[in-house]
Structure 1
């Protein structure tokens, strides 16, 4: 049973094995590779999500003050003196934004302001008097600290495992058992100068980790500095915007609470960025030099959350994202702040759900490959893959949940293609075997039908009704003695090919070619309607064709004789007979034996086609003339045999023949008289001549 199943469904088994191997490969491949595949799929889903999502103007206006190339050209090369940076913060503050977030690390003291130079000179000379002059000189750090104190400002720090500085921050409270085991952790960080921290309202991490392919897709909500949670720059900006004194993380479900704002809190503490529209970024971005020098530009910052950062390469803040190879980190922080306010925190569904999806769509690929035509199967699989991607986008739009459509789609493709290729190979091999077995015996249409529906064949053996047709060339043995070998083979090749072509054209099967004889079967190996009539029609066409072929010069040169045929219908056992290396599909039974003996009876009756009683009874009676009653070897009872009317005989002549045949029952003299007139009208009809001679012999014996 397993063997039969394997033969029948081996293509499906190939697909199942390939799909299983694919799933195993996906589960065993390095986590980095699998992560890149998933994140790439999420990139596509989130990009489609952005296009499908209805526009929802952010209730919190946002501005990005960009230290771009134009600003560096106007205000000096980077790094700017702290005094210049303080001037920029003062200009932004003059625009009256609600909060300022600065995506720049101020970890080192200013070394280029007059006060800083005086302090350095005092240390170098060892003169306290010179160092004391710093108190009355312009001091960039002090000016920046004062500017920061004038408005809520969030400064940034970076994580550094080699540092030992503690990083201050707002308290984080937990309600319940909160799971934060995957949060990004460092032992310490590098914070801004203490005077700047004292003037700042908040402190957030600037560090942006790239994925395994180096692209930035996440911004930290929280990081762990030592044993303490500290917020990211975007989240800290939102805290100041909502005037929340602390962070609260609730369990079951895990939520981050800031005043009235609640957002899902992932276990890894990262916010997965959605796809941002570059046009929105352009609209919210203002050059730093314009903010400093243009009052109308500053006025556009009123009430907005203002982020200060730089897109100039000199600042080192350019990052690669899925949609853009060069994006300023300040833009990513601004995007993250917008998402938090909009309460958009995309999260992936559990892996179990993705496995079920992969199994479901993989099963569709397998079924489509074995149950449908290639075009329909490919269309179904393409539709299933398309529905998977569309479903992923719709789930993202509806609930901000992400599931990976790529791996299930690849699995379905692998399953479908492997099964299809396996099925194609099996079908091709099966069709090749069928064609090699039957293309020389059956018409191309029948072979094609068998190849397309092999189930209609029963090669192992069956009992079915067939009509057998046997042909033979009169005087062939004598002809072989007269003809040269090359002549004989050439004439015989053309003869056999012509007879076989006619047989196959009438739906018959060339069973055997034995010397000059062709053995044909009708209604085997597949069903053939009206097979007795088809066999008779075939024989009548062969009769006409053989006469024409016999008149050719190459045939007359060797004295090719006329073709005799025998036809009978009956039950036979058909199937493959032989040894494994040489199987022959053939038939055995009374019908086959009778057809062979009927062919030989043509010599006795002078006929060309001798048809048995069963085949005759299945055809139109007016097609035949009676030949006589004989006892065939192997049969106990005598049987009547017939011949299709020769095409050259007229209707009146045929009626006289039937009258003469009936008259034979009354006596030979009356019948002989009619046959003599028939012979005179059609002297070439050998049947009439033989019957007449028999009647004369019978009459002479009686006298």
Structure 2
């Protein structure tokens, strides 16, 4: 656990955790555009999984669709046709009519407008001037109906007069004006039309960064004036209300709800409502051409809120929907009115941000603490469980209560906490593993450590048969040296010697089998199999001998009688594996080959050699210079072993080697002149102890190359 870790790791881990949590919290509060897009995409997905079910609400769209344009002529229609449409609709006694069209300019088809384009005589101009004005006819139709017109708002100031507000406001609490969507300019209908209407509302939608319409404003801010939207005005006329009741939040930070007649609509602080979309449904649409042709039963219009707009693609009033695809802008108004009348409100509660921040902080501390203090499986399971609970709670809040709680952004924050703390733990664990590996490598071979780390399944009792090579070393007369030196000095000299001998073995990827006092046993081709283990063993023995000779010479020059190193090398099949019990493992090799290698090391004492290697080992590296010792029969063995002395190329004397080979051949052939050959060899090379050994044997009456040792 983290609490049991070193103080430094504890401090660093907590620092990383707190830094990541603070960074995630700050990012959440900053709310950059990518996070907004992700959050909105999550809410969209919720709506796609469970959209609002369409019910036959008293809202209809009188649609100027493609068929209407085909039958009645392309847009713009004469205002007289719009007036005819209004008159037909009003005759059915609807609850209200709202027009999603801005009549900002005079009708170009009006007779009065034609006076500016046609070249006519004064008599004809006078006659044309007496014809009804299209805008006047539309104004008359508006005046005799319960109709709301629309105007457009813009961020830039405009020279036009401000839109006429038809309603009054009853304000409860602080003014919401600073929190509403601000606009500076407006494009209003013609004054003659605007004055005739009983309602006037903004047609302006504010899409999110991805172009999707998710909210509709009920109230907006034009300069320093409150103006309603067309949706709000449609509802006000249907409710036969004169006022809007504005209730601000308890803390005064924006709106809480808007009262329209008997209906209370919860809003965002900015006076908007989230639209709970339902899938497209043909029942909410009435083609305009069918209304004008009298094909629509008046019962389908009576007491309904009728929204006049267009779905024709050429008129470009299309909006992106959270459900995917595009819908006419007039349908956005219709969907908003449907959910208000049904009392189905999609709400992003004011406490949602605080809750999500709490999830980030508390969940981050919990998940980060587990990631720092426990294993990967437990911490990941906890992280996964936290995400599962978070998403389940968010989905239930939406599905059962129509509350919008964002699970995605907190999940990303918790993921960041989990990843950073897990990476920190991984880095620290790697450091600990490296330290343990380095420390462990001081006790056993690095290649064995690497192998066991890569193959932990091998950490079990048992062994397997394998062909390996072994190098055994021993110091001459070290016991007497220990008795002649101060113990601390003797230990220091021995440690330096052993450290470098083992380092040489490790450089050849040998495995340290054991250290017994001043003796070292090295194994090749285990645990990792090495095709060239014989060559590695011989080269390792030669390099050890070179180092041991230099080290002994340096100490001898200082008056310290440090002896020479004898080395035995042998190869063969052994049983390699873990031996011991449940308490402790000992990775080593067992078999006659190991004992034989040790015997070859001991044989150097009698042979006068420093490296005694078997033919089994040297057969794997024929390029290594050597000279044949003979067939050696060690004590306790019945079959002699062919052995050689491995030679160092740096000190190789070709003429001496040739003379030895000639004398040895004579000895193997039992020739009487072998004695004289060895006598000449010893006389020429008095330091050749192996030649002296053979001469001694021959003078004692022995012949051939069979050497029988009666001692170990």
| TM-score (norm: length of structure 1) | 0.61
User: Are 1:97 and 2:94 an aligned pair?
Assistant: yes
Who is 2:245 aligned against?
248
Cα distance, 1:242 vs structure 2: 1.4
Report the Cα distance in structure 2 between the residues aligned to 1:272 and 1:560, rounded to whole angstroms: 98
User: Are 1:158 and 2:152 an aligned pair?
Assistant: yes
Who is 2:105 aligned against?
108
CA contact (8 A) 1:359 1:408 kept: no
CA shift digits 1:260-298 (9 cap, x unpaired): 211224331222333x23333x44223333433361477
Report the Cα distance in structure 1 between the residues aligned to 2:583 and 2:635, rounded to whole angstroms: 24
CA contact (8 A) 1:101 1:153 kept: yes
Cα distance, 1:108 vs structure 2: 1.3
Among 70, 73, 91, which residue is 2:70 paired with? 73
CA contact (8 A) 1:502 1:542 kept: no
User: Are 1:358 and 2:360 an aligned pair?
Assistant: yes
CA contact (8 A) 1:156 1:204 kept: yes
Report the Cα distance in structure 1 between the residues aligned to 2:510 and 2:266, rounded to whole angstroms: 87
What pairs up with 1:158-557 in 2 under 5 angstroms? 158-160=152-154, 161-166=157-162, 167-187=164-184, 189-251=186-248, 254-274=256-276, 276-280=277-281, 282-293=282-293, 295-296=295-296, 300-324=300-324, 326-343=326-343, 344=345, 346-350=347-351, 351-438=353-440, 440-441=444-445, 448=453, 529=582, 541=590, 545-547=594-596, 553-554=615-616
User: Are 1:130 and 2:125 an aligned pair?
Assistant: yes
CA contact (8 A) 1:49 1:394 kept: no
| TM-score (norm: length of structure 2) | 0.61
Q: Which runs of 5+ in 1 are unaligned?
A: 453-470, 479-487, 506-512, 519-526, 565-683, 691-703
Q: Larger deviation: 287-296 or 233-242? A: 287-296
Report the Cα distance in structure 1 between the residues aligned to 2:389 and 2:635, rounded to whole angstroms: 67
Report the Cα distance in structure 2 between the residues aligned to 1:64 and 1:495, rounded to whole angstroms: 87
Q: Secondary structure at the match of 1:415?
A: helix
Q: Which runs of 5+ in 2 are unaligned?
A: 251-255, 458-469, 478-503, 515-520, 528-543, 549-564, 569-579, 601-613, 619-627, 637-707
Cα distance, 1:170 vs structure 2: 0.8
Q: Secondary structure at the match of 2:311?
A: coil
Report the Cα distance in structure 1 between the residues aligned to 2:505 and 2:213, rounded to whole angstroms: 82
Who is 1:653 aligned against?
none
Cα distance, 1:444 vs structure 2: 5.5
CA contact (8 A) 2:54 2:279 kept: no
Cα distance, 1:430 vs structure 2: 3.1
User: Are 1:87 and 2:79 an aligned pair?
Assistant: no
Report the Cα distance in structure 2 between the residues aligned to 1:81 and 1:49, rounded to whole angstroms: 40
Cα distance, 1:434 vs structure 2: 3.1
Report the Cα distance in structure 2 between the residues aligned to 1:369 and 1:48, rounded to whole angstroms: 31
CA contact (8 A) 1:41 1:406 kept: yes
Report the Cα distance in structure 1 between the residues aligned to 2:211 and 2:21, rounded to whole angstroms: 30
Who is 1:649 aligned against?
none
CA contact (8 A) 1:64 1:307 kept: yes
CA contact (8 A) 2:99 2:150 kept: yes
CA shift digits 1:534-553 (9 cap, x unpaired): 77x979x3567434997963
What pairs up with 1:643-682 in 2 under 5 angstroms? none
Report the Cα distance in structure 1 between the residues aligned to 2:242 and 2:511, rounded to whole angstroms: 106
Q: Secondary structure at the match of 1:216?
A: coil
Who is 1:142 aligned against?
136
Report the Cα distance in structure 2 between the residues aligned to 1:228 and 1:314, rounded to whole angstroms: 34
Q: Secondary structure at the match of 2:206?
A: coil
Report the Cα distance in structure 1 between the residues aligned to 2:363 and 2:272, rounded to whole angstroms: 31
CA shift digits 1:530-571 (9 cap, x unpaired): 55xx77x979x356743499796336966889799xxxxxxx
- The structure with the largest helix share of the pair is 1
Q: Secondary structure at the match of 2:94?
A: coil
How many positions carry a matched residue from both structures? 512
CA shift digits 1:631-669 (9 cap, x unpaired): xxxxxxxxxxxxxxxxxxxxxxxxxxxxxxxxxxxxxxx
CA contact (8 A) 1:474 1:562 kept: no
Q: Secondary structure at the match of 2:265?
A: strand
Cα distance, 1:317 vs structure 2: 1.7
CA contact (8 A) 1:11 1:370 kept: yes
CA shift digits 1:36-63 (9 cap, x unpaired): 52354144235415644784736x3222
Cα distance, 1:127 vs structure 2: 4.8
Cα distance, 1:406 vs structure 2: 3.0
Query: Judging changes above 3 Å, is the alpha-carbon distance between structure 1 residues 562 and 474 closer, same or farther for their aligned structure 2 residues?
Result: farther
Report the Cα distance in structure 2 between the residues aligned to 1:338 and 1:475, rounded to whole angstroms: 98
Query: Judging changes above 3 Å, is the alpha-carbon distance between structure 1 residues 259 and 493 closer, same or farther for their aligned structure 2 residues?
Result: closer
Q: Secondary structure at the match of 2:259?
A: strand
CA contact (8 A) 2:472 2:598 kept: no
Query: Judging changes above 3 Å, is the alpha-carbon distance between structure 1 residues 244 and 362 closer, same or farther for their aligned structure 2 residues?
Result: same
Report the Cα distance in structure 2 between the residues aligned to 1:385 and 1:555, rounded to whole angstroms: 62
Cα distance, 1:104 vs structure 2: 0.5
CA contact (8 A) 2:445 2:512 kept: no
Cα distance, 1:419 vs structure 2: 1.7
Report the Cα distance in structure 2 between the residues aligned to 1:279 and 1:92, rounded to whole angstroms: 23
CA contact (8 A) 2:257 2:264 kept: yes
Query: Judging changes above 3 Å, is the alpha-carbon distance between structure 1 residues 385 and 473 closer, same or farther for their aligned structure 2 residues?
Result: closer
Query: Judging changes above 3 Å, is the alpha-carbon distance between structure 1 residues 391 and 235 closer, same or farther for their aligned structure 2 residues?
Result: same
Q: Secondary structure at the match of 1:402?
A: coil
Report the Cα distance in structure 1 between the residues aligned to 2:35 and 2:364, rounded to whole angstroms: 18
Report the Cα distance in structure 1 between the residues aligned to 2:511 and 2:5, rounded to whole angstroms: 45
Cα distance, 1:412 vs structure 2: 0.9
CA contact (8 A) 1:66 1:288 kept: yes
